[in-house]
Homo-oligomer: A and B are copies of this chain.
Amino acid sequence: MPKLDESLLTGLPPFSLLDRAQIREILDQAVSRRYDEGTAIFREGHDADRFYLLLDGYLRVIRSTPGGEQIIVLHISPGQLFGIAPALQRDTYPATAIAAAESIALSWPVRVWDDFITRYPGFATESYKTLGQRLGQIQETLTEMATQAVEKRVACALLRMVHQSGRKSDKGIEIAFPVTRQNISDMTGTTLHTVSRLLSAWQKDGIVESTRKHIVVTDPHALVVLSEA
């Protein structure tokens, strides 16, 4: 394997306080791997033997029920740590991570976690900050799921994806990874049918434009209004 370039980590929050030599040390212990769209990086309940950093692509973090249904708990964007079970003293992963688009991630064996925490200033702080943000996000989603009607939930889900991965296109803001109606229904606890109907209606109103697995929000403000109505 070729040596990984130090610029990969420079400036990323968990490593921003470190010097070149420290980043070198960290990279030398890392394994880099590519994941095709749809591939699992790790699965719920499995042995948490590594922790990860997403370099490129997008992930879905999902949980499944005994009944075979699944829900998407959150998405991971480039630069974020994930699978950090060791930070919480867990020995199995609490959810499954799936590549939503072709992705590249670094990973380290959990046994170096404590080392990272003690040796590298800022690493612990940033990791726990990430965790705190994620806990907050999940609580937010839970509250939304418990109190809001389907239409608002779907609007919120779209807005979350836009905020996390939106990039300008000529028509509006497009979501940077493939998303199906089924995916959106897994994020919002509804059915693909209902999502399809909502998107069709919004398209007619000029709020979104979508082709298969690809969504552009043409009127974000209108969507915000819907999400708060």
With a cutoff of 8 Å between Cβ atoms, the chain B residues found around residue A128 in the complex are 87-89
Give A50-93 as 1s and 0s: 1 = Cβ < 8 Å from B's Cβ atoms: 00000000000001011101010100000000000101111000
Instruction: State the interface size on chain A (CB cutoff 8 A).
Output: 34
Asked if residues A88 and B135 are in contact (CB atoms below 8 Å), the reply is: yes
Q: Which residues, 131 to 170 on A, are CB-close (under 8 Å) to B? A: 131-132, 134-136, 138-139, 141-143, 145-148
Can you tell how many copies of this chain the complex includes? 2
A170, chain B: closest CB distance, angstroms = 34
Most B Cβ at <10 Å: residue of A65, A146, A147:
A146
Taking the nearest CB of chain B, how far is it from the CB of A127, in angstroms?
Answer: 9
Q: A87-B128, A128-B89, A147-B189 are in contact. Are A142 and B138 (CB under 8 A)?
A: yes
**Residues A89-127 near B (CB distance < 8 A):** 89-90, 94-95, 125
Ranked 6 nearest A-B pairs via Cβ = A88-B132, A146-B189, A89-B129, A71-B146, A69-B147, A142-B142
Known: A69-B147, A89-B132. 18 other contacts (CB 8 A): A63-B143, A65-B143, A65-B147, A65-B148, A73-B142, A85-B132, A87-B128, A87-B132, A88-B131, A89-B128, A89-B129, A131-B131, A134-B135, A135-B135, A142-B142, A142-B145, A146-B188, A147-B189
